[in-house]
Chain A
């Protein structure tokens, strides 16, 4: 124990020196401050699934579902007065920090082997006035996701086409 004590002291001195706190016995001294910021763990929760609503089969075209909730159909007839909605995700983390959004390139919906593809997925963070893949964390931060549904064949049978998709977020 007697032999180890000087070594332990030396070890502690080494720590102090390396952490930037240097105080020499000479007339000149230098002080520096080391800072570290601990961010809250980023959390992502889905609060609303995405739905394109109802469309009439027998034609080809595109149904665009915007993150704002607006639905636009080209070439096909989209019906119903409601029933379509963008996906919505809540983001929790350290306030005022920027986060980025990761979206899939496309999504393939299926029904009994028949497929419909969603392309051009876009997001709109609550902190932004237009579509973006970056947002600012606030107390109630969220982002919505939309995309373009491609009806490539007029022969697609009626029914409900579904898929799951994954999004991610990270501190920027």
Chain B
């Protein structure tokens, strides 16, 4: 009887030793994050204004309106009295401070149409200047460049009918 007992103990001992060792599977924790930023907004604060001009009869007239609002006429007479002050268009930008953005301006031609008529004139060669950048740079930073100016060139054919011409052009910005 005692022999049976010892044999059973031996079997049990081996059985225990033969069981696979078990351990909890290791785990690790990590942080995950995402940042939502407010939508960037763009507001026009000043309309583009070329002012009043008259053809001199020497050929096609061009009026370059710089981003600083200074005009440079060619084959055009610019009256000094009764005129309106030329102005580059100005836009305000709002969004997450420190975030980079890029301005998009027309790369081609925009038409101005005579009020009460159908005649048109072309505006082209749009240019831009961000508040803290030199002219031509289209990428700025909110906080440093919360506004920018847009200039362009007006082309007036020799047969252009007199009148007041207006039009609109698109400007957009996007976060980088």
Contacts and interface: CB of A to CB of B under 8 A. Distances in A.
Q: Answer whether A and B are interacting partners.
A: yes
A137 interface: no
A2 interface: no
Interface of A: 7, 10-11, 14-15, 17-19, 41-46, 48-58, 63, 77, 79-81, 87, 89, 102, 107, 109, 116, 118, 145, 149, 151, 156-170
Given A11-B6, A167-B27, 10 more contacts: A10-B3, A11-B7, A89-B30, A116-B34, A158-B36, A158-B37, A159-B36, A162-B31, A162-B32, A168-B27
A35 to B, nearest CB: 12
A91 B28 CA distance: 10
Interface of B: 2-3, 6-7, 9-11, 13-14, 23, 25-40, 96, 99, 174-176
Contacts of B9: 11, 14
B24 to A, nearest CB: 9
A45 to B, nearest CB: 6
Contacts of A168: 25-28
A149 B34 CA distance: 9
B1 to A, nearest CB: 11
5 contacts: A44-B26, A49-B32, A57-B37, A63-B34, A165-B30
B26 A42 contact: yes
Contacts of A169: 25-26
A52 B29 contact: no
Contacts of A57: 36-39
Contacts of B29: 46, 164-166
A89 B28 contact: yes
A55 B36 contact: yes
A44 B27 contact: yes
- Top-10 shortest CB links A-B: A14-B10, A170-B25, A52-B34, A79-B175, A50-B32, A49-B31, A44-B26, A168-B27, A58-B39, A57-B36
Nearest to A157: B36
Contacts of B40: 56
A3 to B, nearest CB: 10
Given A14-B6, A14-B10, A79-B99, A44 B36 contact: no
